[in-house]
Amino acid sequence: MGYPRILYQNRVPAATLTTTGGTVTVGHPLSLLTTWRDYYRAAWSGANSYVIKIYNGATSLSYQSVAISGHNLFTCGARFKVEDCDDDSTWVERVAYTTPSSNKTLALFFTQVSKKYTRFTIDNNGGAVFSPEIGVLFVGNYLEFPEYLTTPFDPDAHRINKSSAQGDTGRILGTTVDFRSRTVNVSFSYLSSTWINATWFPFWNAQYATPFIFCHDPENYAAAAYLMEFDVDAMSVPFINSAWRGPLTLALRGLYEE
C-alpha cells in the first residue's frame, strides 16, 4: 500500500506555451490547457506528431509528476513522452513514450528535478495523421500524505444520475443516464501536528478551491488517477494531543470517467 498523493503546483498556467506540428484547431488554442477544466480543450490536427513546449521562465522550477486529463489520446491511438532541459536544446527524457490505455486521467511520477523547459511529444509511432485533444495538462509537484488512508476506503464510490420508469403495465422502460459522479471520502486517523502546520495548511490554503488530481495508491494502483475537487464548506482537524491531530476527513468529488 502506498501513500496517497494530490498533484498540485501546476507549472503550466503560468508558463509560456508553444507548439509545433500540425495546426491548432480554431477555437481550441494552447491557452485552454491552463484552466483545470477538462472541457476547455486544446486541439490539433493535420500531423502525426505534435510537440507542446512549456517554458517556466528564467528560473528553473521543480517538478516530480506530469498528468493529462480530458484527452482523447487513447481514441487516437497516440502515445506521449516527456523531456526537459534548461537550454531549450539538450533535451533529457524524463518519461519514456507512454501509451494511454484509456481516455481517463493519467498521472506519472518520477524523481523531482528542476528545469526551465519541459516538452510533451505526442505521436502515434509513425501512424496516420491524427487529431489529439487535451483538456488539462499538468507539470508540477505533489503532496504526499505521510500516513495511509484509514480503511475501509472506497475510491470507486459514485452516484448515478439516471432516470428510468415502468410502463403502465409494469414493463421496465429504457434508462437514461445523465452522468456518474465519483464521491471519495478520504480519512486519516491521525497526522503529526508538525506536518499539519508545515505542509497541510499551506497546501490547503492554496488549494481548497482549486481542482487537482488525486491518486490514492500510486504504488499499487498506478492507473487510478482522478480529476477532483474538495466537496466541503468547512475543514477541521482537531488536536488529539499536542503532537497529533486527527481525524482529517476530506470529501472529494469529480466525474466518474468511463
Partner 1 sequence: MTTMAAARADASRQLIRLVILKLDQCGNEYGVAPCTASGGRCAYTWPTCKDTANYTQSTYNYKFTNRGAPSLLGALPLLLKFDPLGSRILQDKFEVSAGEWRLKFAPDTAAPLVCVNKTTSEADVGSFWPNLIARNPNYQGRMIKVYEGYAGVLEADFELMFSGTIENITVSRDGAEIMARDLLYKAKEAKLPAKIDESNTVYVTLAIGGATLEVVDAAGFLDASAKHPRIIKIESEYITYTGRNTTLNTLTGLGRGAYGTSAAQHVAGLAIAQVLAYGNAAFTAGIAPDLILYDLLYLSGIGAGYWEVADDGCVLNEALDNSETAFDVTGGNYLPDAGVIRIDDEWCAYTTRTDTLLSGIVRGVWGTTAVAHDTAAIVYISTCSSEVNRWHAGATFRRKVEKETSIGELVKTLAADNMADVFVNESGKIAFSIQAPPVIGTDVSALTRDDHWRNSRKVNFYDESRCTRVYLFHSAPLPDPGETPENYGALRVYYDADAEAAVNYGKAQIKTRYCPWIYQAAEANWLAVKLFNRYKKACPILTFSLETYYASIRLGDLLRLIVPEIVGETGAAVSKLYKVTCRDPKEDNEIVVEATDTGYGDDRYGLIAPAMGTLVTAIDNDDTFIYIEVGDTVGIGGSGRLTAADFRTGGQIRIGDEKITIGEIYDDVVWPLSTPKVALLTCVRGALGTTPDSHEVGDQVLILYSGASDDFRRRYAFIGDSDNLLDSDGDGTADEAGYVIF
In the complex, the residues that contact partner 1 under the rule CB under 8 A are 25-29, 31-32, 34-35, 38-41, 43, 70, 133, 135, 161-181, 255
Q: Which is nearer to partner 1, 2 or 29 (CB)?
A: 29
Provide the grid cell at 155: 475510491
Peptide bond into 247 cis (omega under 30): yes
CB of 143 to partner 1, least distance (A): 23
Q: Which is nearer to partner 1, 38 or 123 (CB)?
A: 38
How far is residue 122's CA from residue 47's CA, in Å, rounded to a whole number? 10
Residue 91, C-alpha cell as written in the block: 533535451
For the bound state, the minimum distance from the C-beta of residue 71 to partner 1, rounded and expressed in Å, comes to 10
Q: Choose between 70 and 218: whose C-beta lies nearer to partner 1.
A: 70
Element (H, E) at 65: strand 61-69
- We find the least distance from the C-beta atom of residue 223 to partner 1, in angstroms, to be 20
Which grid coordinates belong to 249?
476527513
Q: Which is nearer to partner 1, 19 or 64 (CB)?
A: 19
DSSP tag of 195: H
Phi, psi of 203 (to 5 degrees): -65, -50
CA distance 112 to 222: 18
Please name which of 65, 97, 69, 67 lies closest in space to residue 81, comparing C-alpha atoms: 97
Nearer to partner 1, 160 or 198 (CB): 160
How far apart are CB 103 and partner 1 at their closest, in Å?
A: 9
Closest-CA residue to 8 (of 52, 51, 46, 65): 65
Tell me the closest approach of the beta carbon of residue 161 to partner 1, in angstroms. Answer: 7
